[in-house]
Chains A and B, each alone.
Chain A
Amino acid sequence: EAGVTQFPSHSVIEKGQTVTLRCDPISGHDNLYWYRRVMGKEIKFLLHFVKESKQDESGMPNNRFLAERTGGTYSTLKVQPAELEDSGVYFCASSQVLVVSSALAHNEQFFGPGTRLTVL
């Protein structure tokens, strides 16, 4: 079974340019997540798709970030225009949630290798 893949693995762009990151989840996984780790900081949640719908985008830093998941398969995360503080590693994860009860669900997420974004 193929894992979560991300493209590109590295991207170096100049401030003001646009970059689009892509994530291909594990086939059949309805849940897709984006996370970001800025240098020296914690891994932070950005947003969560269930199929093609945004379930939670509370972690998106500002309106320069746009995530899409057309058709409920792969997802893209676009940064436009990029700023210096956007540099970091962007991780994608997917899962198929097993709901046990109204208060408990198992949500093992499978992570991609990440895209390292450097904004100069």
Chain B
Amino acid sequence: AQSVTQLDSHVSVSEGTPVLLRCNYSSSYSPSLFWYVQHPNKGLQLLLKYTSAATLVKGINGFEAEFKKSETSFHLTKPSAHMSDAAEYFCVVTEGAGGFKTIFGAGTRLFVKA
């Protein structure tokens, strides 16, 4: 069965410092993994996706994530935080077999201090 665990409900960083948002998953099949971001009063925007190609995935706005099968992790990173990165981030898993079940993590709210 699928599950997604975002290990931190809140992360606070200073502007210009690295960002790490952690995500662990479990899946019975070959999963597709996504990170979405939601800014206040906006919809969910795709940051990046892993779909069985390269394990290091680069996304928009300088974000990247590495799929580590042995650790069942898909952590999101960015070398240098910007104030505009303050938002809520969701790790999402979909499975290719059956009905494309989609499971969201609980979300991590990122705060960026000046």
Contact = CB atoms under 8 A, between A and B. Distances in A.
Contact of B43 (A42, A48, A106, A113): A113
Q: In which size bucket is the chain B interface?
A: 20 to 34
Contacts of A100: 52, 96
B36 A111 contact: yes
Q: In which size bucket is the chain A interface?
A: 20 to 34
A106 B94 CA distance: 8
B29 A97 contact: no
Interface string A33-63: 1010000011111001000000110000000
Contacts, number: 69
Given A43-B90, A114-B43, A109 B102 contact: yes
The 6 closest A-B pairs by CB, nearest first: A113-B43, A111-B44, A105-B96, A104-B96, A43-B104, A56-B99
Interface of B: 29-30, 32, 34, 36, 42-46, 49, 51-52, 90, 94, 96-97, 99-107
B59 to A, nearest CB: 12
A79 B104 CA distance: 23
B43 A97 contact: no
A23 B36 CA distance: 20
